[in-house]
Structure 1
């Protein structure tokens, strides 16, 4: 169902951004993956504090992106699909969709401004996460953080701001949007599995790191990287990058958005980790390993989308050739040799 009018689309972007943020934070508080309550001893551990901030930052960012995507799709102005046009893609100068035409250039500018408006509106709605994070953070007691609610609100606000560019990319390419949504679904899935496993096994309350299984540090290790902890997220980033880009590759979408789509979801995860990075001097070995691994998730996702491009190239049908013996048409840019008299 398409929404008519810019006012309705802006309202949808604001509403969806706020609703998705509230829903994700409610799920996070309910599963106890975000908790600012003091641990044993009356104080919140540094690990629990950083884990909660990472989740809050990521939720604020994904809420902005989700609001922009939903509003854009409902507006009926989604990104163009199908083979790219233009001189590099075999564009016919006689085609009515002339990219050099002033009207076409104006349409492109209007489309970009429209996407910026939707992303900004979604960020405005997702700003509700700032208050929803700050209020519970008031109960946190830490030695070196005098105002935890202010710090927590600041990280949520940073998540909203840095996600604006990613939201614009998601509005420009369906493959980017698919990767972001699939990555978010995967991260919540492993969080639910981790919490459920802990409840069924009767384990004590433990933190649930964003994007990782909470494994022991027994090994195997490769330098400073815990392989058992790094393997699953790297494999997931590769697989999601491949599967999310395959439909776009089969449609023949624009190669820029297709190739870069694999990095979108891991990039948001990496930003959340880098923004909330603790003092690695006193951090545990597993925490150091995770902060070393998250940038490589972006590369793994890119590799997955590149594999999708390779599948597209191998499955592309060969160009049609004339069967009646006539020679192929000569390109318009080819030079005709001068005839000798």
Structure 2
């Protein structure tokens, strides 16, 4: 019982910590602002910010489950189905305990031009993100090729966000006359002024998915991992971003395509990653050659 209690506490606590850290960073830097007016012309900013919220939730669940599963692996030398399920469920609760209050506290002050209840919409998005995180955790935890692709992609998505933030603040770009809000940065997009909006949205995630899928699949192949896991690994990395866009939505405004372009890029990334890793997995093996 002590073993299972430690796993539950570790998964819950780490998921809550990862979630709180992510929300703390974006709220502290004013990157995520749900407590404002989303008027005509910036309608899609609401979907854009919900997409980030969902992704943070998914990453928190996966992070908590991965950490706890690592403890189980150290103690028992293997991760079975029971460990995978228990850690994923505990991490789901930990992420939910943080994501719901930190999102709804701000969302209650949102003012949308569309006839939507912002609190209800945000609550549904977080709930869907929790379920999506549970799915990702059950899929990736304890399966090293999948987990490696997941966390490398996650790290690179954060890197894109950091570079985009530095570019946005450096050039002082914003969307309101008072300079109160930064120009929103899209999830998984290198949103810098030197690139055109549509190409950077369409190619950022697919390029990351391709490079990470090839690298992780080759490493897993060299380590003699299962062909099936190697083939699936390329899709798992960009999957949280794609799921976040599906839940966040392509945008309230049909006239504006900023969110829809990034949405499409995220969907393409999953396919690109899957194809790349499948090619590596299915290539014939020869003695002494990867």
TM-score range, shorter chain: 0.7 to 0.9
Structure 1 gap ranges (5+) = 82-109, 221-225, 319-341
Who is 1:10 aligned against? Answer: 8
What SS is found at the alignment partner of 2:225?
coil
**2:56 matched to 1:59?**
yes
Q: What are the residue-to-residue correspondences of 1:1-341 with 2, within 5 Å?
A: 5-38=3-36, 45-76=42-73, 111-127=80-96, 128-145=98-115, 147-204=117-174, 205-214=182-191, 226-278=198-250, 282-309=254-281, 313=285, 316-317=287-288
CA distance in 1, matches of 2:192, 2:171: 15
1:55: how far off?
A: 0.2
1:296 Cα deviation after fit: 1.2
Q: Which runs of 5+ in 2 are unaligned?
A: 175-181
Is 1:13–1:121's contact at 8 Å kept on the other side of the alignment? Answer: yes
Asked which structure has the greater CA Rg, the reply is 1
CA distance in 2, matches of 1:51, 1:296: 18
Pairs aligned (count): 281
Q: CA RMSD in A?
A: 3.0
> How many Å apart are 1:154 and its aligned residue?
1.9
Deviations 1:63-85 (A, max 9, x none): 1111111100112269989xxxx
Structure 1 residues 313, 121: CA separation in 2 closer, same or farther (over 3 Å shift)? Answer: same
Q: Distance in 1 between matches of 2:284 and 2:162?
A: 34
Higher mean alpha-carbon deviation, 163-172 vs 63-72, is at 163-172
Deviation at 1:297, TM superposition (A): 0.6
C-alpha deviation, 1:172, in angstroms: 3.8
State the TM-score, normalizing by the size of structure 2: 0.86
| Alpha-carbon displacement from aligned partner over 1:58-103 (angstroms, at most 9, x marks no partner) | 111111111111100112269989xxxxxxxxxxxxxxxxxxxxxx
Q: Normalising by the residue count of structure 1, what TM-score does the alignment of the two structures yield?
A: 0.74
Shift of 1:245: 2.6
Give 1:251 shift: 1.0
Distance change >3 Å, CA 249–CA 148, structure 1 → 2 = same
The answer on whether the counterparts of 1:79 and 1:174 sit within 8 Å (CA) in structure 2 is no
Task: Kindly state the Cα deviation for residue 258 of structure 1 after the two structures are TM-superposed.
Answer: 1.3
